[in-house]
Amino acid sequence: MIVHGGAGRVTGAADAAAYLDAVTEALARGVAELEYGARAAVIAAVTFMEECTLLNAGRGAVLAEDGSVRLDAGFMDGATRRFGGVAGVRRTATPVRIAESLAADGEFGRFLIGDAADEAARLAGIAETAPEELVTERSRRRERERVEDSTAPRGDTVGAVALDANGHVVAAVSTGGLAGKRVGRVGDASVVGAGFYADDATGAAVTTGIGEALLRHGTARRCLQFLADGCAIGVAARRALEELGAGESSDFGIGGLIVVDRHGTFAIDHDTPEMTAGWARPNEAAVVRARWR
């Protein structure tokens, strides 16, 4: 199992330590569920990160231009290749659960935005949260810092991929998107192929970073295409990131990704200063750190 808490730049030792602790706990919760399947594992990990109020997902995520929290999430099951995606969620603190429920809906899955996504949560029996309860004092502080300092971190994403004992892979991702984003903006996290992809024949990948660039290149699926073409998994991840960064300009890099193949080999890579991430197998010590380059 591999989990990440976002790629970019974390300011301050306290924040860095807290991010590491959050990812470590998410990883532990996911691994504890792995015996019940990859699906249960990634949902446990990502749900924790949505609820912990520290990371840019769920309660405590960054604020949009109107001061609200608007959440995106995605989920894909590698056994069926059904997916679920939601964007602009305002009344659910755990949008990854909506995305998971939509993956079972229809021939291929479903992608819903705004009120339709919140209604899907209600129909699935997922707890409703008042929009104002998604906003925390830390969210407000981060927005003030962004307005005052153009170099302040503007957002990130959380995600998880897992391979279970039955050979199934699953990917899940969740985010509050870009701080100060235009209302209605949709990033990569809810879009299959860009922010996430899973196929038992190859593996599962999740991305994080500048959503518009990830959307342009379809980075999650692109990584798995390199893998299917015969690239070693580390090479596949690196090529996907290099392709992502070609022609783009950013002082802090474009993003990162996590990927696991059907044999249990994995890669964690990024072109940003940091990417808080970790991996673990049942009955083995977890490895979590902020830099993987």
Q: Which residues are the active-site residues?
A: 157
Residues 205 and 224 sit within 8 Å (Cβ to Cβ): yes
First-to-final CA distance of the chain: 19
Neighbours of 200 (CB within 10 A): 19
Q: How far apart are CA 267 and CA 276, in angstroms?
A: 13
Give the phi and the psi of residue 138 in degrees, each rounded to 5. -65, -40
**Site of tokens 């981060």:** 142
**Parallel, antiparallel, or unpaired for β 158-163 and 109-113?**
unpaired
CA distances in angstroms from 186 to 73, 100, 111, 175, 200, listed in the order given? 10, 18, 12, 11, 27
